[in-house]
Structure 1
Amino acid sequence: MRYRSHMFSIEHEFDATVVTLVDEGQSYLQEDITINAFEDCITIEQLDPRTDQVMTVTFSMSQLRDLGAALDLPEGVYALREVDA
């Protein structure tokens, strides 16, 4: 696997792990994205340059699990089932 140079940071705060993704390159660049991982939810923040306000999206832990599963699946409608070990 080859990696291109991409910049990000990881910081451990009192109540969250904070990951910041920096958009680098020659094409049109987006504002940095900050991901805050709390015990019970994940927030994603990005500055909207049109309004100069930070926009926030909050995922529950189950929504984050579903998003992770969806990234590896083809188009369709799915229901995840938990299996007892």
Structure 2
Amino acid sequence: MFTIEHDFDATIITLVDEGAPHPEALRDDVIITAFEDCVTLRQFDPRREDDVVITFSLSQLRELAAALDLPEGSYRLNPKSGHG
């Protein structure tokens, strides 16, 4: 299950883990916040008792999306014309 909310300066997507057959195997929600210049992923880590936050630049996010559909290897995406 997931939710989508549009805030003033960001879009917030929350991914809820419902797939584990045993409740103890469920992971905490993943909160994805898309800003104009970056995307953050946030998840509570019960071992640290704190949130873990990862921030992607938009180019890193594009590369991640491309990598999900590629075989093992090393790649460099060609920049789109007019974008550097």
Structure 2 counterpart of 1:13: 7
Where do 5+ consecutive residues of structure 1 fail to align? 1-6
Q: Could you report, residue by residue, the CA deviation over 1:8-66 in whole angstroms, capped at 9, with x for unpaired residues?
A: 10001111000000001314211110000000000000000112101100000000000
Structure 1 counterpart of 2:61: 64
Where do 5+ consecutive residues of structure 2 fail to align? none
Where 1:62 maps in the other structure, the secondary structure is helix
Structure 2 residue identity aligned to 1:8: F
Structure 1 ranges of 4+ moved more than 3 A: none
Structure 2 counterpart of 1:4: none
Report the CA distance between 1:82 and its aligned residue. Answer: 2.4
Where 1:11 maps in the other structure, the secondary structure is strand
Structure 2 counterpart of 1:35: 32
Percent identity over paired residues: 58
TM-score by length of 2: 0.88
Structure 1 counterpart of 2:49: 52
C-alpha separation in 1, matches of 2:50 and 2:81: 44
Change over 3 Å in CA distance of 1:81–1:51 after alignment to 2: same
